[in-house]
Amino acid sequence: MTSLLEIRNLSFAYEGSTSLVFDHLDLTVNEGEFILIKGPSGSGKSTLLRLICRLNQPQGGSILFQGNDITSITPAKLRSFVSYVAQIPQMVDATVEENLLLPFTFAINAAKTRPGTEELREMLSKFYLPDVSLDQSAMKLSIGQKQRLAIMRALLQNPLLLLLDEPTSALDQESAVMVFSIMEKLNTEHRKTLITVTHVDYKPETVRPLTYTLAQRSLHITS
Protein backbone atom coordinates (compact mmCIF):
# COMPACT_ATOMS: atom_id res chain seq x y z
CA MET A 1 0.00 0.00 0.00
CA THR A 2 1.33 3.44 -0.94
CA SER A 3 1.95 5.79 1.94
CA LEU A 4 0.15 9.12 1.96
CA LEU A 5 3.43 10.96 2.43
CA GLU A 6 6.98 9.77 2.15
CA ILE A 7 10.07 11.88 2.76
CA ARG A 8 13.37 10.39 1.65
CA ASN A 9 16.89 11.68 2.31
CA LEU A 10 15.71 15.24 2.67
CA SER A 11 18.34 17.92 2.99
CA PHE A 12 17.76 21.62 3.33
CA ALA A 13 19.71 24.79 4.06
CA TYR A 14 18.41 28.34 4.06
CA GLU A 15 19.37 30.56 1.14
CA GLY A 16 22.83 32.00 1.65
CA SER A 17 23.66 29.55 4.45
CA THR A 18 25.92 26.52 4.23
CA SER A 19 24.78 24.84 7.43
CA LEU A 20 22.12 22.22 6.84
CA VAL A 21 18.82 22.36 8.73
CA PHE A 22 17.99 18.80 7.61
CA ASP A 23 20.39 16.13 6.52
CA HIS A 24 19.10 12.76 5.24
CA LEU A 25 15.75 13.23 6.96
CA ASP A 26 13.19 10.45 6.45
CA LEU A 27 9.51 10.26 7.38
CA THR A 28 6.62 8.03 6.34
CA VAL A 29 3.03 9.04 7.03
CA ASN A 30 0.12 6.67 6.44
CA GLU A 31 -3.53 7.62 6.04
CA GLY A 32 -5.32 8.35 9.30
CA GLU A 33 -2.17 8.82 11.38
CA PHE A 34 -1.69 11.60 13.90
CA ILE A 35 1.94 12.71 13.76
CA LEU A 36 3.33 14.91 16.47
CA ILE A 37 6.72 16.51 15.85
CA LYS A 38 8.43 18.06 18.84
CA GLY A 39 11.64 19.98 19.13
CA PRO A 40 13.11 23.20 20.43
CA SER A 41 12.56 26.55 18.73
CA GLY A 42 14.72 26.96 15.67
CA SER A 43 15.16 23.21 15.07
CA GLY A 44 13.35 23.46 11.72
CA LYS A 45 9.89 22.11 12.61
CA SER A 46 8.01 24.81 10.69
CA THR A 47 10.45 24.54 7.78
CA LEU A 48 9.67 20.83 7.46
CA LEU A 49 5.95 21.60 7.05
CA ARG A 50 6.73 24.38 4.57
CA LEU A 51 8.79 21.94 2.50
CA ILE A 52 5.92 19.44 2.45
CA CYS A 53 3.55 22.03 0.94
CA ARG A 54 6.22 23.51 -1.34
CA LEU A 55 6.51 26.92 0.30
CA ASN A 56 10.25 26.15 0.41
CA GLN A 57 12.35 23.96 -1.88
CA PRO A 58 14.74 21.30 -0.56
CA GLN A 59 18.36 21.05 -1.76
CA GLY A 60 18.26 17.28 -1.87
CA GLY A 61 16.06 14.22 -1.40
CA SER A 62 12.45 13.81 -2.35
CA ILE A 63 8.96 14.22 -0.95
CA LEU A 64 6.30 11.89 -2.33
CA PHE A 65 2.58 12.50 -1.91
CA GLN A 66 0.46 9.43 -2.74
CA GLY A 67 3.54 8.04 -4.48
CA ASN A 68 4.09 11.10 -6.69
CA ASP A 69 7.01 13.47 -6.29
CA ILE A 70 5.48 16.78 -5.15
CA THR A 71 7.56 18.67 -7.72
CA SER A 72 5.53 16.90 -10.42
CA ILE A 73 2.28 18.30 -9.00
CA THR A 74 1.40 21.98 -9.44
CA PRO A 75 1.65 23.84 -6.09
CA ALA A 76 -2.03 24.85 -6.20
CA LYS A 77 -3.15 21.25 -6.81
CA LEU A 78 -0.86 19.89 -4.09
CA ARG A 79 -2.22 22.45 -1.62
CA SER A 80 -5.80 21.46 -2.39
CA PHE A 81 -4.86 18.04 -0.93
CA VAL A 82 -2.34 19.19 1.66
CA SER A 83 -3.50 22.09 3.80
CA TYR A 84 -1.05 24.10 5.89
CA VAL A 85 -2.19 26.29 8.79
CA ALA A 86 0.45 28.80 9.86
CA GLN A 87 1.48 29.61 13.40
CA ILE A 88 -0.06 33.10 13.27
CA PRO A 89 -3.53 32.82 11.72
CA GLN A 90 -4.09 35.12 8.76
CA MET A 91 -7.48 36.57 7.83
CA VAL A 92 -8.47 38.82 4.94
CA ASP A 93 -10.25 42.06 5.86
CA ALA A 94 -13.75 40.65 5.34
CA THR A 95 -16.53 38.83 7.17
CA VAL A 96 -16.13 35.46 8.88
CA GLU A 97 -18.17 33.82 6.09
CA GLU A 98 -16.06 35.38 3.34
CA ASN A 99 -12.93 34.18 5.10
CA LEU A 100 -14.28 30.66 5.46
CA LEU A 101 -15.29 30.53 1.80
CA LEU A 102 -12.04 32.11 0.58
CA PRO A 103 -10.58 28.80 -0.73
CA PHE A 104 -13.62 28.36 -2.99
CA THR A 105 -12.84 31.63 -4.79
CA PHE A 106 -9.68 30.03 -6.20
CA ALA A 107 -9.84 28.20 -9.53
CA ILE A 108 -8.42 24.93 -8.20
CA ASN A 109 -11.32 24.57 -5.72
CA ALA A 110 -14.07 25.75 -8.08
CA ALA A 111 -15.45 22.23 -8.54
CA LYS A 112 -15.58 21.52 -4.80
CA THR A 113 -18.95 21.81 -3.04
CA ARG A 114 -19.30 25.07 -1.13
CA PRO A 115 -20.68 24.58 2.35
CA GLY A 116 -24.03 26.25 3.04
CA THR A 117 -24.71 28.82 5.76
CA GLU A 118 -26.30 26.24 8.07
CA GLU A 119 -23.33 23.90 7.71
CA LEU A 120 -20.94 26.75 8.49
CA ARG A 121 -22.94 27.70 11.61
CA GLU A 122 -22.88 24.09 12.82
CA MET A 123 -19.14 23.90 12.26
CA LEU A 124 -18.56 27.15 14.15
CA SER A 125 -20.25 25.54 17.16
CA LYS A 126 -18.12 22.42 16.85
CA PHE A 127 -15.02 24.60 16.70
CA TYR A 128 -15.99 26.29 19.98
CA LEU A 129 -17.12 29.44 18.20
CA PRO A 130 -20.88 29.42 18.87
CA ASP A 131 -21.03 33.17 19.53
CA VAL A 132 -19.24 34.13 16.34
CA SER A 133 -21.63 35.24 13.61
CA LEU A 134 -20.90 34.68 9.95
CA ASP A 135 -21.40 38.32 8.99
CA GLN A 136 -19.10 39.87 11.57
CA SER A 137 -15.62 41.07 10.70
CA ALA A 138 -12.98 38.36 11.05
CA MET A 139 -10.40 41.02 11.88
CA LYS A 140 -12.12 41.72 15.20
CA LEU A 141 -11.79 38.16 16.50
CA SER A 142 -9.23 37.23 19.14
CA ILE A 143 -6.13 35.35 18.03
CA GLY A 144 -7.49 32.14 19.59
CA GLN A 145 -10.74 32.51 17.64
CA LYS A 146 -8.80 33.26 14.46
CA GLN A 147 -6.71 30.12 14.95
CA ARG A 148 -9.83 27.94 15.25
CA LEU A 149 -11.33 29.68 12.23
CA ALA A 150 -8.12 29.08 10.24
CA ILE A 151 -8.20 25.35 11.03
CA MET A 152 -11.91 25.22 10.13
CA ARG A 153 -11.22 26.99 6.83
CA ALA A 154 -8.48 24.49 5.99
CA LEU A 155 -10.81 21.60 6.82
CA LEU A 156 -13.58 22.96 4.55
CA GLN A 157 -11.37 22.21 1.57
CA ASN A 158 -11.54 18.56 2.60
CA PRO A 159 -7.76 18.01 2.42
CA LEU A 160 -6.19 14.58 2.75
CA LEU A 161 -3.40 15.89 4.96
CA LEU A 162 -3.48 18.74 7.47
CA LEU A 163 -0.26 20.44 8.53
CA LEU A 164 -0.57 22.45 11.71
CA ASP A 165 2.35 24.71 12.56
CA GLU A 166 2.57 25.42 16.32
CA PRO A 167 -1.21 25.88 16.45
CA THR A 168 -1.26 26.87 20.13
CA SER A 169 1.94 28.88 20.49
CA ALA A 170 0.21 32.27 20.43
CA LEU A 171 -2.82 31.19 22.46
CA ASP A 172 -3.81 31.34 26.12
CA GLN A 173 -4.32 28.06 28.01
CA GLU A 174 -8.10 27.98 27.49
CA SER A 175 -7.85 28.51 23.71
CA ALA A 176 -4.98 26.01 23.49
CA VAL A 177 -7.10 23.30 25.13
CA MET A 178 -9.88 23.97 22.59
CA VAL A 179 -7.46 23.75 19.65
CA PHE A 180 -5.96 20.49 20.95
CA SER A 181 -9.46 19.08 21.32
CA ILE A 182 -10.30 20.15 17.74
CA MET A 183 -7.11 18.51 16.43
CA GLU A 184 -8.00 15.23 18.08
CA LYS A 185 -11.57 15.37 16.75
CA LEU A 186 -10.24 16.00 13.24
CA ASN A 187 -8.37 12.75 13.52
CA THR A 188 -10.95 10.62 15.33
CA GLU A 189 -14.23 11.95 13.87
CA HIS A 190 -13.20 13.37 10.48
CA ARG A 191 -10.54 10.67 9.85
CA LYS A 192 -8.02 13.31 8.83
CA THR A 193 -4.30 12.67 8.69
CA LEU A 194 -2.48 15.30 10.72
CA ILE A 195 1.07 16.44 11.17
CA THR A 196 1.39 18.87 14.04
CA VAL A 197 4.58 20.51 15.13
CA THR A 198 4.83 21.94 18.62
CA HIS A 199 7.37 22.83 21.23
CA VAL A 200 4.86 22.71 24.10
CA ASP A 201 4.37 19.63 26.24
CA TYR A 202 1.17 18.26 24.75
CA LYS A 203 -0.17 14.78 25.45
CA PRO A 204 -3.27 13.96 23.42
CA GLU A 205 -6.13 12.48 25.43
CA THR A 206 -8.20 10.69 22.79
CA VAL A 207 -5.63 9.70 20.15
CA ARG A 208 -2.34 7.86 20.19
CA PRO A 209 0.03 9.93 18.10
CA LEU A 210 3.27 8.88 16.51
CA THR A 211 5.67 11.25 18.21
CA TYR A 212 8.96 12.32 16.67
CA THR A 213 11.66 14.62 17.96
CA LEU A 214 13.53 16.84 15.54
CA ALA A 215 17.15 16.90 16.60
CA GLN A 216 20.57 16.82 14.93
CA ARG A 217 19.04 17.66 11.56
CA SER A 218 16.85 14.58 11.49
CA LEU A 219 13.68 13.02 12.95
CA HIS A 220 13.84 10.46 15.75
CA ILE A 221 10.79 8.49 16.79
CA THR A 222 10.02 8.75 20.48
CA SER A 223 6.72 6.88 20.74
Q: Give the alpha-carbon dihedral of 86, 92, 98, 101, to 10 degrees.
A: -30
Q: How many angstroms separate the CA atoms of 143 and 206, rounded?
A: 25
Q: Which residues contact 34 (CB under 8 A, 6 or more apart)?
A: 183, 184, 187, 193, 194, 196, 204, 207, 208, 209, 210
CB-wise, 55 or 64, nearer to other proteins? 55
29 three-state secondary structure: strand
196 is a site residue for other proteins (CB under 8 A)? no
Q: How far is the CB of 107 from other proteins (least distance, A)?
A: 7
Q: Which of residues 100-129 bind other proteins (CB under 8 A)?
A: 102-103, 105-109
Q: How far is the CB of 103 from other proteins (least distance, A)?
A: 4
Q: How many angstroms separate the CA atoms of 28 and 6, rounded?
A: 5
75 is a site residue for other proteins (CB under 8 A)? yes
154 is a site residue for other proteins (CB under 8 A)? yes
83 is a site residue for other proteins (CB under 8 A)? yes
CB-wise, 13 or 207, nearer to other proteins? 13
Q: How far is the CB of 210 from other proteins (least distance, A)?
A: 23
Judge whether 32 and 191 are in contact, CB under 8 Å. Answer: yes
Q: Order of strands across the sheet with 193-198?
A: 82-85, 161-165, 193-198, 34-38, 210-215, 218-221
CB-wise, 96 or 217, nearer to other proteins? 96
198 is a site residue for other proteins (CB under 8 A)? no
Residues near other proteins, by CB under 8 A: 53, 55, 74-76, 79-80, 83-86, 88, 90, 92, 102-103, 105-109, 150, 153-154, 157
